[in-house]
Amino acid sequence: MQKIRDFHYASIHQRQEFWRREGGRIHWETPFERTLDDSRLPFARWYVGGKTNLCYNAVDRWLPLQADRQALIWVSTEVDQERIYTQAQLHDEVNAVAAMLREQGVGQGDRVLLYMPMIPEAVFTMLACARLGAIHSVVFGGFAAHNLAQRIDDARPKVIVSADAGSRGGKVMPYKPLLDQALDLSQSRPAAVIIVDRGLAPAPLADGQWDYAELRARHEGARVPVTWLESSEPSYILYTSGTTGKPKGVQRDTGGYTVALAASMEYIFNGKPGETFFCTSDIGWVVGHSYIVYGPLIGGQATILYEGTPVRPDGAILWKLVERFKVNTLFSAPTAVRVLKRQDPELLRRHDLSSLRTLYLAGEPLDEPTARWIGEALGKPVIDNYWQTESGWPILSAQPGVERTPPRLGSPSFPTYGYDVRVIDESTGQDLEAGRKGVVAIVPPLPPGAMSTIWGDDERFVRTYFESIPGRQVYSTFDWGRVDDDGYWFILGRTDDVINVAGHRLGTREIEESISSHAKVAECAVVGVADALKGQVAAAFVVLKDPSQAEGADAMRALEGDMMRVVDQQLGAVARPARIRFVAALPKTRSGKVLRRAIVAVCEGRDPGDLATIEDPNALELIKESLK
């Protein structure tokens, strides 16, 4: 493991040299003058003075080399359609959409919000924004009106691009009514709304709303010049949940991100131009941004955009796509594998998987049984990689493009080059030795590609991420971790109130706020509880203003359904708790803080531990009772 250690060492201790060299992987219209400006830490500026463009590096740059090669492969098992775009066709589409957006007044620095299902038009729009130097903000299609309105108000987009509907598990999910509701709720008014009409659900257009296909037809053959951005100018905003109800707009730069993704395609994914990459995430998540859209295309690889689930029409669909499109790299989430594990193992043997080199899994802890099962079933290496919306690319991972290292079950292996990661004591800020559990933290500067700030709120960026550990300005991941004697890292869960349901990051505070908006609720607590399939699920405990309203099983069930609908409508079904239970009181400390960890322990059948600070021990008994 010497090579990987040396490589990492160079990326931190000969930082400028290391990253100057990596900077050479991408096209710079104007070369950068300095590799790193770290004079204002924790803010870092990578590739100062360099001018580049994400869309150019993903699309135009590959035209002379592979214009006729497949670049974007769209498969939908939801609507039984597929479309394949060569590099040249992708270039045409992106230019047409850029022309459409330009006509609506979109230019450099303007925000464009996407609320879209997994369709090619979403990818074209993201790339078109990048082409114009506009900042896209993709909102996950599973979110509902309230969430969407919050993001519209924060990003203040000039244009919103959406669709009539998505589809999940064969069921049409209308988007347009949710968008209309969100627009009613929000203060900020976009100049225009563009709707892709898939013919799935009615989507009447109001004033200032346009049909994508009609606009597209007007711009057939359009060519829009690339807007060259200084490296630190923002490429996009992606909202993520934290411990407050207000989501954070993670802002990313342009040059550093392009370099980071280009480098990761070789060092982490060990791939080459001309290969095929299949990432099963959603464009609404960071993994989708980096490894459905930008990473593979920047690396000259074809990318598969898949609208569907891993089990429809049957549990062999992912393997069927691997065979058909000769996929070299497959990137998914542990939850998807746990779902497949419940299927007939024969399904895995039905297809020729010889093209597949490695399976990458990320987004949530990869448990040992799942890792072992899929590794044996596939007979291919499985790489667990740990990262966050904030980092934009893996923080911990095996790096077969640097050196092949033996995997260790339950561990995402080692820090990736560029990340000066430490396990530190949360109260003293000191580095901890091997074997000790502490907070996983990163010594600034964050590497290229990681978040540059919170959109519109530099102060919150510093306060949230760099001031949570006393006496030391380090970036907190808000994850617990440990390193073993051989240097393998282990992630041991969140330090905050963020939970991870089927790889989706949710703030329990947001769900609490939503339930509390129900007129009958006095207070409530939402916690994440271990779940065999989804990793975690949300469990809610509600204290009613008038407890008699939940007397009797029927009344209780009706009220539970009622509150779940509130969450569905405000946040979306992803955030819906698995159960809502009614209790007379919540267990709290004497200072009034809800004892979430004790609630989780009780729900998981564990010992709640030290309860010295509890105000009323009976409240925990009530939680226990409610579980029966």
Return residues touching ligand AMP (CB under 6 A).
240, 286, 362-366, 384-389, 412, 477, 479, 491, 494, 500, 505
Q: Which is nearer to ligand AMP, 109 or 487 (CB)?
A: 487
Q: How far is the CB of 341 from ligand AMP (least distance, A)?
A: 18
Nearest-5° angle of CA 60, CA 66, CA 70? Answer: 95
Q: Which is nearer to ligand AMP, 62 or 257 (CB)?
A: 257
In sequence order, what are the beta bridge partners of 64? Answer: none
Q: Give me the residue label for tokens 């800020």.
A: 429
Chain position whose Cβ is nearest to ligand AMP: 505
Q: Which is nearer to ligand AMP, 152 or 362 (CB)?
A: 362
Q: How far is the CB of 570 from ligand AMP (least distance, A)?
A: 20
Q: How far apart are CA 289 and CA 295, in angstroms?
A: 8
Identify the CA nearest to 123 among candidates 161, 88, 70, 152: 161
Q: How far apart are CA 449 and CA 258, in angstroms?
A: 7
Q: Which is nearer to ligand AMP, 273 or 493 (CB)?
A: 493
Q: How far is the CB of 184 from ligand AMP (least distance, A)?
A: 28
Which DSSP state fits 447? P
Which DSSP state fits 491? E
Q: Which is nearer to ligand AMP, 106 or 371 (CB)?
A: 371
Q: How far is the CB of 394 from ligand AMP (least distance, A)?
A: 8
Write phi, then psi, for 85 (nearest 5 degrees). -115, 130
Here the tokens at position 247 are: 């989501």
Q: Which is nearer to ligand AMP, 147 or 477 (CB)?
A: 477
Q: How far is the CB of 147 from ligand AMP (least distance, A)?
A: 14
Would you mind telling me the total number of residues written for the chain in this entry? 628
Q: Which is nearer to ligand AMP, 387 or 466 (CB)?
A: 387
Alpha-carbon Rg for the chain in angstroms: 24
DSSP-based three-state secondary structure for 446: coil
Q: How far apart are CA 27 and CA 57, in angstroms?
A: 6
Here the tokens at position 535 are: 């990793």
Q: How far is the CB of 186 from ligand AMP (least distance, A)?
A: 24
Q: How far is the CB of 406 from ligand AMP (least distance, A)?
A: 18
Q: How far apart are CA 79 and CA 339, in angstroms?
A: 22
**Bridging pattern class, strands 248-252 and 236-240:** antiparallel
Q: Which is nearer to ligand AMP, 300 or 412 (CB)?
A: 412
Which DSSP state fits 110? -
Q: Which is nearer to ligand AMP, 45 or 576 (CB)?
A: 576
Q: How far is the CB of 504 from ligand AMP (least distance, A)?
A: 7
Q: How far apart are CA 483 and CA 413, in angstroms?
A: 9
Q: How far is the CB of 180 from ligand AMP (least distance, A)?
A: 28
The conformational region for residue 556 under phi > 0 = left, psi -120 to 50 = alpha, else beta, is: alpha
Q: How far apart are CA 312 and CA 310, in angstroms?
A: 6
DSSP-based three-state secondary structure for 123: helix
Q: How far apart are CA 113 and CA 196, in angstroms?
A: 14
